[in-house]
Structure 1
Amino acid sequence: MRKVRFRPQDIAEPFRIDEAVAPVPGPGQLLVDTEVVGVSLGLVRMLRAGAAGAAGPGGEMVGRVAALGAGVEGFRVGDRVGGVVFEDVYAESVLAVPAMVTAVPPRVTAAEALALVRGGLVALSALRAGRFARGESVLVTAAAGGSGHLAVQLAGALGAGRVVAAVGSADKADFVRGCGADEVVTYAQDSWGEPVDVVLDGVGGDLVQRGVDALRPHGRLVAFSAGGGTVDTAGLLGGLKSVIGFSIGLISRRQPELIEQRRAELWDLHGAGRLRPAHEALPLDRIAEAVGLIESRSNLGRVLLHTN
């Protein structure tokens, strides 16, 4: 099988496609032959940090079950699945833990499924964490990204009274309007317009405080980026505003039944035509270009690699 070997210290060739022996599933593991794998900001951060170990990074994938380890129940060879694996995801075959993958409906393409199994799950769960209610207004940062463009669509599908998309550059305006945004603002603008009830921040840094400033009284900001950021708590007091930290990982570990409920909701919304995952796809051997799209923040929707 083909597999990407990561060499972040090698500036000239940080990625190399190697031939490797397919892994063998141990007890409690699935072997999945991948169709597509996702490229994320987490991979870019790993490369910037120069981190590389014996195993490659993990991430999202969609594929078909090729073999079952001892003790695995609820899956069969040939099942189509999607989810997260912990290491060596950039390969034609990967090892997965049953608790971290889910069945993919036959009507959903591999690319659409990849966008939904993680990015859609994060977007929907962040909305729920912000206690979003029908009729409220929502502002989404990184609105053209893998999770952001789905958050814009989900807010509209679930009855938002107004959806504002915040993006890094004005050339993304048509794309996010096509996702259902009522208004588009850029990070460089002095004002993001009328205050909103909920902000979903997938960027971090200075935009966390910008998001708090964009909230109306009793508003809630959900921070789900690994980008950090600080907030002037004095600015929360008078307006009774809240900042809520969110990570899908803790919910996945402690409330797997909730994860399945939300994935079922995503499949239903997609089947009804309410969610239209966007993606930019490249073959596995063009991973450097895919990483460049993420690093330059020029992607529209999810970035993924076809593995076969």
Structure 2
Amino acid sequence: MRAIVTEKFGGPDVLVEREVPDPSPGPDEIAIAVEAAGVNFGEIMMRKGHHPLALQNTILGNDAAGVVSAVGPEVEGFSIGDRVAASLLGRDGSIRGGGYAATAIADPSRTVRLPDGVDAAEALGLIIPGVTAWFLLHQIPEIQGRTVLIHAAAGGTGSQAVQLAHILGAARVFGTASNKDKRALVRELGAESIDYGQNDWPTRVRELTGGRGVDAVFDSVAGETAAGSVAALAMGGKVVLYGSNSGSPPVFTPETWRAIGIGLLSIQGFTNLYNLKRPELIREVMLKLMDFYVAGRLRVELSRFALADAAGAHRALQARQTRGKIVLVP
């Protein structure tokens, strides 16, 4: 089969198309003829060798959707021909990858059937970004009636978080984005858009909230943006850090630390790795998000690339040139 292989660590050009043997499912696994494979920021870190689980001579891709092409003898509940989407993790939460290929192997506990009318690529906008956004928003004990700000709100996780914040009862949602096109999408999704490329964006947030600020900021950017996230908080507010898409860790000035103390503010880290060790819970949330999507309550924005252009997809994601979930299609 054709697959995109990371033969060494480095830039996008290390992603090369190769002919590799077809994988076979184990006794308790299924094989999926891939119609769409997701591209996630963590895979950029793996490609660079900056991820603890990064391996050379491997096929990246942590989520895929398509048609079941083979079923192990111990598998129950799935048959050849089923349309499915899967998170390509082991039952224990280990990252296995393999999505950037014609065929991927999945654990049934990490797999859901696609409802009629749900496109394989669109389903991937829910599998990793939607699930991450769901658990991310639940880091606030009671989001109902709160005012929240979501960074990178036109991205895969950010765009889902904006919509889910409304579903969960947030009173007001702000979303940051880096250009006019993305800010237009943020508004379409129901958030008030903020240009976080402007140095005074926290001041703008305070102006729009009558000087109060927001109850929570969900920050996947980090770097110098993190100090602005703190500056945008209301008294007693919280910043939830869940990534560093800027390429650098949070940068806090002495003024930031003073503001944290005076404002009774808190900073919390978040990773979905612990939840990923609970496949039944993850699957429950995946199905819930599918229901929201079928009911028209969630929208999925996509940036599509050909599988052979996986390197181009990585370049575009790094350069923040994409909207929503990035998918590779045959």
Give how far 1:16 is off: 2.5
Change in Cα spacing, 1:264 to 1:300, as seen in structure 2 (3 Å) is same
Residue 190 of structure 2 is aligned to residue 180 of structure 1: yes
What secondary structure sits across from 2:322 in the alignment?
Answer: coil
Alignment of 1:146-225 (within 5 A): 146-192=156-202, 193-194=205-206, 195-225=213-243
Say if 1:196 and 1:214, in contact at 8 Å, map to a contact too.
yes
Give how far 1:217 is off: 1.7
Structure-1 residue corresponding to 2:44: 44
Moved more, 128-137 or 2-11: 2-11
Say if 2:300 and 2:324, in contact at 8 Å, map to a contact too.
yes
Moved more, 95-104 or 277-286: 95-104
The separation in 2 between residues aligned to 1:13 and 1:296, in whole angstroms, is 15
- Aligned CA RMSD, in angstroms, stands at 2.3
Alignment of 1:225-244 (within 5 A): 225-226=243-244, 228-229=249-250, 234-244=258-268
Change in Cα spacing, 1:58 to 1:159, as seen in structure 2 (3 Å) is same
Could you tell me which amino acid in structure 2 is paired with residue 55 of structure 1? T
Change in Cα spacing, 1:10 to 1:207, as seen in structure 2 (3 Å) is closer
Say if 1:220 and 1:243, in contact at 8 Å, map to a contact too.
yes
**Aligned mate of 2:321, from 283, 286, 298:** 298
Structure-2 residue corresponding to 1:18: 18
Structure-2 residue corresponding to 1:89: 99
Give how far 1:98 is off: 2.1
The separation in 2 between residues aligned to 1:277 and 1:11, in whole angstroms, is 28
Give how far 1:145 is off: 0.8
Structure-1 residue corresponding to 2:31: 31
The separation in 2 between residues aligned to 1:306 and 1:191, in whole angstroms, is 37
Structure 2, unaligned runs of 5 or more: 89-95, 207-212
Structure-2 residue corresponding to 1:289: 312
Change in Cα spacing, 1:132 to 1:104, as seen in structure 2 (3 Å) is farther
Deviations 1:64-83 (A, max 9, x none): 22112242223222222212
Say if 1:130 and 1:244, in contact at 8 Å, map to a contact too.
no
Say if 2:305 and 2:329, in contact at 8 Å, map to a contact too.
yes
Structure-2 residue corresponding to 1:245: 269
Say if 1:65 and 1:79, in contact at 8 Å, map to a contact too.
yes
The separation in 2 between residues aligned to 1:157 and 1:11, in whole angstroms, is 39
Say if 1:7 and 1:13, in contact at 8 Å, map to a contact too.
no
Could you tell me which amino acid in structure 2 is paired with residue 248 of structure 1? N
Give how far 1:9 is off: 5.9
Residue 110 of structure 2 is aligned to residue 100 of structure 1: yes
Change in Cα spacing, 1:252 to 1:44, as seen in structure 2 (3 Å) is closer
Moved more, 141-150 or 268-277: 268-277
What secondary structure sits across from 1:266 in the alignment?
Answer: helix
- Tell me the TM-score normalised to structure 2 length: 0.84
Residue 62 of structure 2 is aligned to residue 59 of structure 1: yes
The separation in 2 between residues aligned to 1:16 and 1:102, in whole angstroms, is 30
What secondary structure sits across from 1:267 in the alignment?
Answer: helix
**Aligned mate of 1:75, from 78, 84, 89:** 78
- Tell me the TM-score normalised to structure 1 length: 0.90
Give how far 1:174 is off: 1.1
Structure-2 residue corresponding to 1:278: 301
Aligned length: 306
Give how far 1:294 is off: 0.3
Structure 1, unaligned runs of 5 or more: none
The separation in 1 between residues aligned to 2:238 and 2:112, in whole angstroms, is 31
The separation in 1 between residues aligned to 2:198 and 2:55, in whole angstroms, is 35
Give how far 1:272 is off: 2.1
